[in-house]
Amino acid sequence: MALTIDKKAILPANTQPLALRSYNLLQDYLAISKFKVVAMLVLTAWVGLALAPDVGRGIAVQFISLLGIGLLSAAAAVINHVVDSEIDSKMARTRHRPVAKGRLSKMHALSFAAVIGVAGFIMLMIWANTLTAVLTLFALVGYAFVYTSFLKRATPQNIVIGGLAGAMPPLLGWVSETNQMAAAPWLLVMIIFTWTPPHFWALAIARKSDYERARIPMLPVTHGIDFCKTCVVAYSVLLAVVCVLPYLIGMSGLIYLIGACVLNAVFIYKAVKLKIAGNDEIAMDLFRFSIVHLMVLFVVLFIDKWLPL
């Protein structure tokens, strides 16, 4: 049998067709920007904006505000890729990331982060307000530097403490609309803040050997998988309680309450299942469901705003 070789597959990057190089570069940019994660953050910011009092801002201005929040969030993600590149190269889940693999240099990635970060900040200054721009910048610093550079490597409570930065988008969306702080959006921040530990700990349980190899003190590495499973159950119960608070203060109605109760019942069921007979597959099932949980929860919260019962 004759052996056929795809010449395009072995061509150096600089000899590939321009269209292919451009496509590959775009894919790498999306990867280091954590596009799917940022899209989720922007969704929660949009719900925060939608729940804020109507001050007569146009849809175009609101869209640009959300884009600014998204660009600064993406810049934080890029910095995370650069700072964690050595760790990423040691973990099976992350070793193919563009910076860890060497497809993008650290300087290239940081330049990209600077461009989109400055663009996002300017958008917020012009089309939102100074308070939103400053708070979003603080969230970037909290995630990209305080969490990634210090907390992640220093304590098994890294994701608990550092989770606040990633929980800020609903507040940012609200503030972009009103230019002032309020108690209501902090409840949405609390939901994401409480959701973050069981979400990441489920992944850490399934990828414990990766974190051990990279010497990252995630909870299952430092305290054992069984203790971590107990914490996942405890946080899933706490999450269910926190998710009821928007209904209790009159921020949402029955549609949200029903949706939140169903979603959290499934979350607790999967957490208990992980505790009793958990393996890596069950841990990943909980991890994947937690993403659906947060997305659907905020969509239901938005629907409840326009179809109150």
For residue 15, the model assigns a pLDDT of: 58
Which has the closest alpha carbon to 47: 263, 251, 257? 251
Per-domain boundaries in the chain: 23-178, 182-308
> What are the average pLDDT values for consecutive 10-residue runs of the chain, which has 309 residues?
43 66 90 95 96 93 98 97 92 91 94 97 98 97 90 90 92 97 95 97 95 93 96 98 96 96 98 93 97 97 85
Does the domain made of 23-178 have the CATH classification 1.10.357.140?
A: yes
For residue 14, the model assigns a pLDDT of: 58
Rounded CA-CA distance 33/97 in Å is 11
For residue 162, the model assigns a pLDDT of: 87
Which tokens go with 264? 């959290």
Rounded CA-CA distance 230/290 in Å is 17
HSE at residue 99, side-chain half, CA atoms within 13 A, is 27
Rounded CA-CA distance 22/72 in Å is 23
> What pTM did the predictor assign?
0.91
Which has the closest alpha carbon to 216: 84, 34, 77, 80? 84
For residue 3, the model assigns a pLDDT of: 42
> pLDDT tens digit string along 72-90?
999 999 999 999 999 999 8
For residue 140, the model assigns a pLDDT of: 95
